[in-house]
Amino acid sequence: MPIAPNSPHARDVAYVLHPYTNAALHETKGPHIIEKGEGIYVTDTEGKRYIEGLAGLWCTALGYSEERLVQAAAEQMRKMPYYHNFAHRSTNPVIDLAERLIKMAPVPMSKVFFGNSGSEGNDTVVKLVWYFNNAMGRPRKKKIIARIKGYHGVTVASGSLTGLPYAQSGFDLPIANILHTDCPHFYRFGTDGESEEAFATRMADNLEALIQREGPETVAAFIAEPVMGAGGVIVPPKTYFAKIQEVLRRHDVLFIADEVICGFGRTGNMFGTETFNLTPDMMTCAKQLSSSYLPISAVLINDKVYQQVKKLSGELGVFGTGYTYQGHPVCAAVALETLKIYEERDMVGHVKKVSKRFMARLNGLASHPLVGEARGVGLIGALELVADKATKRNFEVAKKVGAYATERAAEHGLLIRPLSGDALAFCPPLIVTEAEVDAIFDAATRAIDDTQAWVEKEKLRVPA
């Protein structure tokens, strides 16, 4: 359908540069404009209602109509709409939120450094790692290891950590001192006859070999999502993190847990760090911290890191980094109210209960002729579509089978997202009910059936 002149769609094409969008295609396709939301549902400007099956961007934990968050923002806006954290200044919401985060952290942490997004948090982490080692008198120990298919943001530094080509191509990334090790996806990269535990051992051995090749005196940190999100919702294989952490300890390498997606109940515990028994030195949080009603992120650092920050900032006279909107009092107030709601409504308990239905319906699609693997934990999951179940052969990228499936899902009233490798991601708001879980997977089943019919019609499964 052509874009009507002077319509919101035409004005969007004329004036808005969209992230993660084909700019050339957007000029002919135009935007899908979402106008309002309630609970787990959103409605577009044509009046069509959809289940938001990815909670926006893995983030609107409390759905789209939580009045308490609206009131928290309004009350703080009237009282103190903005102030900064520079030069010893603070506000009560910032102090209260930092205290609450430190007390609820799954491992001992010392201080909180606020930001505005997960990307910004992970960008800050890079600076903290380098600052820490400068304070320690180790100017060569600066390399940070991330993982292929990991996602840590899109700033210059965090985009370098991200191990996905589309976040780096054309941007001259990654920058120096950023390395990548294996993606721990057992289904895709395990070898014939290899157990999950043996695969995990191989992943840890490869990390060890990388550190040895680079020189342990040059390797400063390792960053990982407990569950890899945008890289395909990849759940770590059994024993993986135990073996990885042993390698890090042996070489005095800081461990950073990127909890931007996993934090605040998503995996069935308050943090993914608990779900997978991690012991990070730093944690980054965002998204569900405020149910994404307002932008806010947090970097939690342990005392080992803080003591060196204190030491070097004392010597230099200032800890010379920060952001204008860091610790914004309105954002902090909304985040505080969000955490209160999680506790009062036992959202973790709710996730544990509803996730049983979620995982049962997700795994129920594993036998579909088009599905190679169903994977997930808590209320996050993915279905990987393949051209050949026996060989795990992917469809040709140019055929955009995952994109076709998500378009069909939208026709059936479900918004989900295709990831690399034709994986369909599911990450509903945490408030989702069992009946709504059924509605999600009923729509997804219809979409995948439609996709199978299209694949057969277009003969896309013919061996390459």
Question: What is each CA distance from 350 to 40, 90, 231, 262, in whole angstroms?
Answer: 15, 35, 26, 16
Query: pLDDT tens digits for 91-148?
Result: 999 999 999 999 999 999 999 999 999 999 999 999 999 999 999 999 999 999 999 9
Give this prediction's pTM. 0.96
What pLDDT score does 461 carry?
Answer: 81
Residue 293 CB neighbours (<10 A)? 21
What pLDDT score does 5 carry?
Answer: 86
Give yes or no for residue 464 having a pLDDT over 60.
no
Beta strands in 65-216 (DSSP E): 111-115, 143-147, 178-181
Q: What is the domain partition of the chain in residue ranges?
A: 32-65+346-457, 68-344
Instruction: Report how far residue 124's alpha carbon sits from residue 108's, in angstroms, rounded to the nearest whole number.
Output: 20
Mean pLDDT value across residues 8-21 = 95
CATH topology of domain 32-65+346-457: Aspartate Aminotransferase, domain 1 (3.90.1150)
Q: What is the mean pLDDT of the chain?
A: 97
232: DSSP letter: T
CATH topology of domain 68-344: Aspartate Aminotransferase; domain 2 (3.40.640)
| Cβ within 8 Å of residue 60, ≥6 positions away | 37, 52, 291, 292, 293, 429
End-to-end Cα, the chain, rounded Å: 34
Query: What one-letter code names the amino acid at 379?
Result: L
Query: pLDDT tens digits for 291-307?
Result: 999 999 999 999 999 99
What pLDDT score does 463 carry?
Answer: 67
Query: What one-letter code names the amino acid at 124?
Result: T
- Tokens 């948090």 — which residue? 121
Helix (H) or strand (E) segment spanning residue 41: strand 41-44
Task: Label residue 306 exposed, middle or buried (CB < 10 Å: 0-12, 13-18, 19+).
Answer: middle
- Nearest one of 358, 334, 361 to 430, comparing CA atoms: 358
Radius of gyration in angstroms for the set of CA atoms belonging to the chain, rounded to a whole number:
22
Query: pLDDT tens digits for 57-106?
Result: 999 999 999 999 999 999 999 999 999 999 999 999 999 999 999 999 99
Helix (H) or strand (E) segment spanning residue 443: helix 434-457
Give yes or no for residue 198 having a pLDDT over 70.
yes
3-state helix, strand, coil in the chain (%, to 5): 45, 15, 40
Query: pLDDT tens digits for 303-313?
Result: 999 999 999 99
Question: Is-contact 305 282, C-beta < 8 A?
Answer: yes
| Cβ within 8 Å of residue 213, ≥6 positions away | none
Question: Is-contact 218 47, C-beta < 8 A?
Answer: no
For 139, the token pair is: 């100017």
Residue 270 Cα to chain centre, angstroms: 15
State whether residue 197 is helix, strand or coil.
Answer: helix
Residue 338 CB neighbours (<10 A)? 27
